[in-house]
Structure 1
Amino acid sequence: MNTTSRRAALAALLAFACLGGAHAQSDKPLRIVVPLAAGSTVDAVARAIAPGFGKATGHPIVVENVVGAGGIPGTGQVVKAPKDGLTLGMISSNHVINPGIYKSIPYDSLKDITPIAVLATVPLVLVVNPSLPARNVKELLAYAKANPGKLNYGSAGNGSTLHLAGELLTSETGIDMKHVPYRGTGPLITDLIGGQVQLGFVSISQVAPQVKAGTLHALAVSTPARSPALPDVPTLAESGVPKYSFDAWIALIGPAGLPKAIVDSDYAAVKAAIASPEAQTVLAAQGLTVLNMGPDQAPAFFQAELVKHQKLVKQSGATLD
């Protein structure tokens, strides 16, 4: 065997060894850290893909919720994990929002991770209390401009995706509304129905029953295209806000420096898992749009989303300790 052949053989063996560190030792569990509460959309997606992901990688999958501080503690465990592929993270848009609202984060949101896949987006819907004299976006904007500062829009907290979705609406339309932050989406929806706040952006799955019952009115969805979950509800772009486009997203990451063989194998595994009928049922129930963006495109996506969200955070003035 000549020198070139020996080097090629060695490279192949090293690649196989890297892959085997994550997928050959099937007796070792593969841990997916969800830095959000059980029952959240991100948690639902992680648990939906776990069986198929485990089958494709040959590992038992453990989904672990590590909550608090906008997902920072959970993501911190992922970035500090060994680069063997046995600890991954299922994160959301909060990952690129946090650098602007927290004074200190113990990792770099871009440099300290390896993006594996951006799995899906989470379309939001703009809903209003029925007492508000607005049945479409045009009427809402007219009312807001005639009554500056009198409308209250709620969110799941300062700097949350729901807050920034509202901030983008005020930026694109020039209307003056007051932001009311809540401790989560549940209390927000309760007060939307009760009329303590007049409007807000919420994920479609969380308010579909209320929209169907008429206790909330859906005016528009946040995404560039209509949602199959609410096909009769127009987009904001269709409704007179042509540049508006905003959605949350869910992604699978590992620690920085994760070997390419593991990354590629995990991407193939998660693609297969998310395509399963069981996972598709969960995604449809959550109103999600599947992206399946892989490791080649994901880093540029993360960079663009960081820039976009940091601009909105700065505009909103949101900060947290």
Structure 2
Amino acid sequence: MNRRALLGLGACAAAVAACPALAQGSDKPIRFILPISAGSGVDAIVRAAAPALGKAFGQPVVIENLPGAGGITGAAAIVKAAPDGLTLGMVSNNHVINPAVFRKMPFDAINDVTPISVIGATPLVLVANPKLPAKNVQELIALLRAKPGGYNYASSGNGTILHLADEMFLDEAGVKARHIPYKGTGPMMTDMIGGQVEMGVIALPAVQQHIKSGALRAIGLCGAQRSPAAPDIPTIAEQGLPNYAVEGWFAVIGPAKMQPADVQRVHGAVVAAFGSAEVREAMDRQGNVIRPTTPEQAASFFRSEAARYAALVKKANVTLE
């Protein structure tokens, strides 16, 4: 082998060493598993960020929807994957709620995953059919108090974050209403608009057009602060329930036992992607708030949220087989 060939090989080796993505094989795609159906809020978030994620990783990003069992099906696929940084997932509140709701779990939602970052949150909003004679929180509470159990509220399913957000409201207000669970937000929203059920909590991006058209009435935002995407909608907290605060967060995770270097590499790419101008703009349009955490903060957050929802599930007596 002549001197020129050796120099050429040395240059190639230096280029690979300087690019972590190439060193790990840029021909291998990043598999992003979503434990929810296409068209949901988290699905829209990841698909909007997919081009920026591919650029940040230096590798193709393939999104795979694996819905089922309240998110357990997709999460199980993440848990079983090799901890090499090539299989990741985006999960939401339901991931830490499920252990308190289901009698049996095929994995440990806390210890069998590697939290990478809690990326941000989607505002939730309590809405009502406009025929319901209540325009704000205090009027709704008075209505429910006058007729205990006489009104219905919808959710996207037993034990979901939307169900628990409703239960939290009823608990804080000291009132009662009947729960009508649906299989997803689509049919739930259709029946709220049609008047089959009077009210329910839902993600702001999913329902904002119906609020603007008058098909549904916004009673109050569920978060601690108003949303820049809907600044005219007051929070439930500022309408007399100061301890009420819940939002739909979303987080990137990987399988357990990922190497620290892989965790940092993935974290850096994810933060870079969601910090890019195009993704920020897309998130603003959807009404999402982006505030990425460190892996350590994400792990602590998962544990605290699991404890918080476990207490609420027990109080609401929600249990699934």
- Counting matched residue pairs gives 305
CA distance in 2, matches of 1:160, 1:22: 40
**Greater Cα shift, 140-149 or 270-279:** 270-279
RMSD: 1.7
Counterpart residue identity of residue 46, structure 2: A
Partner of 2:80: 80
Alignment CA distance shift 1:20-1:280 (3 Å): closer
| Offset at residue 22 of structure 1 (A) | 9.1
Q: Secondary structure at the match of 1:70?
A: helix
CA distance in 2, matches of 1:98, 1:39: 21
Partner of 2:52: 52
Partner of 2:104: 104
CA distance in 2, matches of 1:100, 1:178: 21
**In the alignment, is residue 259 of structure 1 matched against residue 272 of structure 2?**
no
Partner of 1:220: 220
Alignment CA distance shift 1:23-1:316 (3 Å): farther
Matches within 5 A, 1:132-151: 132-151=132-151
Alignment CA distance shift 1:23-1:54 (3 Å): farther
CA distance in 2, matches of 1:208, 1:303: 31
| Offset at residue 278 of structure 1 (A) | 2.6
Alignment CA distance shift 1:99-1:232 (3 Å): same
Partner of 2:156: 156
Cα deviation digits, residues 10-39 of structure 1 (max 9, x gap): xxxxxx99x958963111111111111111
| Offset at residue 217 of structure 1 (A) | 0.8
Counterpart residue identity of residue 220, structure 1: G
| Offset at residue 57 of structure 1 (A) | 1.8
Partner of 2:289: 289
Partner of 1:123: 123
CA distance in 1, matches of 2:209, 2:53: 31
CA distance in 2, matches of 1:188, 1:83: 37
CA distance in 1, matches of 2:310, 2:217: 30
CA distance in 1, matches of 2:271, 2:123: 20
Gaps of 5+ in 2: 1-15
Does the 8 A contact of 2:41 with 2:206 survive in 1?
Answer: no
Cα deviation digits, residues 99-154 of structure 1 (max 9, x gap): 12222111101111110010111111111111111111111111111111111111
Partner of 2:201: 201
Partner of 1:8: none
Does the 8 A contact of 1:44 with 1:282 survive in 2?
Answer: no
CA distance in 2, matches of 1:45, 1:128: 26
**Greater Cα shift, 280-289 or 262-271:** 280-289
| Offset at residue 316 of structure 1 (A) | 2.0
Counterpart residue identity of residue 56, structure 1: A
CA distance in 2, matches of 1:149, 1:143: 11
Alignment TM-score, normalising by the size of structure 2:
0.91
CA distance in 2, matches of 1:24, 1:284: 33
Partner of 2:10: none
Alignment CA distance shift 1:137-1:292 (3 Å): same
Runs of 4+ residues over 3 Å off in structure 1? 19-23
Counterpart residue identity of residue 57, structure 2: T
Alignment TM-score, normalising by the size of structure 1:
0.91
Q: Percent identity?
A: 48
Partner of 2:13: none
Alignment CA distance shift 1:58-1:133 (3 Å): same
**In the alignment, is residue 168 of structure 1 matched against residue 168 of structure 2?**
yes
Does the 8 A contact of 2:21 with 2:59 survive in 1?
Answer: no
| Offset at residue 44 of structure 1 (A) | 1.5
Partner of 2:300: 300
CA distance in 2, matches of 1:28, 1:141: 55
